A and B are shown apart, each in its own frame.
Chain A
Amino acid sequence: AQSVSQHNHHVILSEAASLELGCNYSYGGTVNLFWYVQYPGQHLQLLLKYFSGDPLVKGIKGFEAEFIKSKFSFNLRKPSVQWSDTAEYFCAVRGTRQDKIIFGKGTRLHILP
């Protein structure tokens, strides 16, 4: 069965700090990988996704993620965070043989102004 593990539950950073949120998945096959973000009071929206090709994926608002197949990882990065990045971030995986998307438990990111 597929599963997703996000390493950090809560992360607090100052503005301009660099960010890396860890995500590991478990699935015995080819996967599609996603990062979703939920800003306070808003619905989830897609940040970026990987399904094939270049393992370094660029998303909206300066975010990027790197798929490392040998490590079953898809970590999210941003070189310099802003106060407006305060949100909850969810890593998700969908096996190409299955239809459902499985989400991690989420990481609450709090950026100090």
Chain B
Amino acid sequence: NAGVMQNPRHLVRRRGQEARLRCSPMKGHSHVYWYRQLPEEGLKFMVYLQKENIIDESGMPKERFSAEFPKEGPSILRIQQVVRGDSAAYFCASSPQVATNEKLFFGSGTQLSVL
């Protein structure tokens, strides 16, 4: 059973370009979470999605950032018109259900570098 798969592992973009980060949850998992990690700041919650639904996007910046988790295919975190401050490690996690004691399974992350 493959774990949470994120790609690409490293993504380099110039300012103003778009970044698309992909996350395939573990088989049988229908809940996906995105976190951003900056040095010395830990993991900051961005968004929580179920298939075809955004459940909680309270951590998403109001502009340029969007996320989706379609019925088929991976979850996508999209950053439009990237700026240097978007450079960070972006982690995806999945869980099989919404029970609050359920642990998260994390992917290896995508390191976004904006030049």
A interface residues, Cβ below 8 angstroms from B: 6, 9, 32, 34, 36, 42-46, 49, 51-52, 90, 94-96, 98-106
Q: Contacting chain A: which of B12-20, B79-87, B95-103?
A: B95-103
Closest to A107 in B: B42
Q: Would you call A44 and B91 a contact (CB within 8 A)?
A: yes
Q: Determine how close the nearest CB of chain B comes to the CB of A106; give it in whole angstroms.
A: 5
Residues from 4 to 45 in B contacting A, C-beta threshold 8 Å: 4, 33, 35, 40-45
Q: Would you call B103 and A96 a contact (CB within 8 A)?
A: no
Q: How many B residues, CB 8 Å from partner?
A: 26
Give complex CA distance A49, B104 in Å: 11
Q: Would you call A103 and B42 a contact (CB within 8 A)?
A: yes
Q: Determine how close the nearest CB of chain B comes to the CB of A14; give it in whole angstroms.
A: 25
B interface residues, Cβ below 8 angstroms from A: 3-4, 33, 35, 40-45, 48, 55-56, 58-59, 91, 93, 98, 100-101, 103-104, 106-109
Q: Would you call B98 and A90 a contact (CB within 8 A)?
A: no
Q: Determine how close the nearest CB of chain A comes to the CB of B112; give it in whole angstroms.
A: 16
Chain A residues with CB under 8 A of B4: 43
Q: Determine how close the nearest CB of chain B comes to the CB of A36; give it in whole angstroms.
A: 8
Chain B residues with CB under 8 A of A32: 100-101
Chain A residues with CB under 8 A of B103: 34, 46, 49
Q: Would you call A100 and B42 a contact (CB within 8 A)?
A: no
Q: Would you call A51 and B109 a contact (CB within 8 A)?
A: no
Closest to A1 in B: B58
Give complex CA distance A6, B4 in Å: 27
Q: Would you call A101 and B33 a contact (CB within 8 A)?
A: yes
